Amino acid sequence: MNLICDLLSFLNHIAPALVTVALGGFLIHRFFIRRSNIANIIDSICEKLAGLKSDCASYWSIGYAETEKSKLSILEANIKASLTCIEREIRFLNEKYKINITKQQAEMLTLMDCCTGGDFESKNRKANKERFFKIVNSTNEIAFSLQHNKI
């Protein structure tokens, strides 16, 4: 009986500290670590957008006849893979962290059309700097709208 009283007394003294640590851990995870994870994903997307912009600059600044076929096929594959990866990461933000991505989805459709529309993968393709400027504007718009979720 005395042992039970001592144990209850001990728990009575340590319970507030345990509750504080558990609640503090939950709050830190909920507000700080979660925000840090979101920020890391957004930074990753922005890096991929920069890589996509670079690939598109190489692809759309020269015509089909001016480059070798293997280099073009690598650039085309990189562009399509980057678009897929970016789109999946944006969807992941919505599914995992419940971030509203309707604006980013519309911008992604515009970006996909700019990157792979027109004469993409065509032997008739010529250099198209206007298309590249549209790609730059679209990637910057997506990055800017994602940065709002980072704050």
d(CA 53, CA 35): 27
What's the pLDDT score for residue 151? 67
Q: Phi and psi dihedrals of 119, rounded to 5?
A: -95, 20
Q: Is the pLDDT of residue 119 over 80?
A: yes
Q: What is the tens place of the pLDDT at every residue in 3-41?
A: 777 777 777 778 788 778 878 777 777 778 888 889 999
d(CA 32, CA 38): 10
What's the pLDDT score for residue 103? 84
* C-alpha dist (Å) from residue 26 to 23, 36, 88, 117: 5, 15, 28, 47
- Averaged pLDDT, 92-120: 88
Q: Give domain limits for the chain.
A: 44-150
Confidence of residue 1 (pLDDT cuts 50, 70, 90): low
Q: Is the pLDDT of residue 86 over 80?
A: yes
Give the mean pLDDT of the chain. Answer: 87
Confidence of residue 108 (pLDDT cuts 50, 70, 90): very high
Segment of 14-23, 60-69, 75-84, 123-132 carrying the highest mean pLDDT: 75-84
d(CA 43, CA 40): 5
**Which carries the bigger pLDDT value, residue 23 or residue 95?**
95
Q: Kindly report the three-state secondary structure assignment for every residue of the chain.
A: CHHHHHHHHHHHHHHHHHHHHHHHHHHHHHHHHHHHHHHHHHHHHHHHHHHHHHHHHHHHCCCCCCCCHHHHHHHHHHHHHHHHHHHHHHHHHHHHHCCCCHHHHHHHHHHHHHHHCCCCCCCCCCCCHHHHHHHHHHHHHHHHHHHHHHC
- Averaged pLDDT, 48-61: 94
Q: What is the tens place of the pLDDT at every residue in 120-150?
A: 888 888 888 899 999 999 999 999 999 888 7
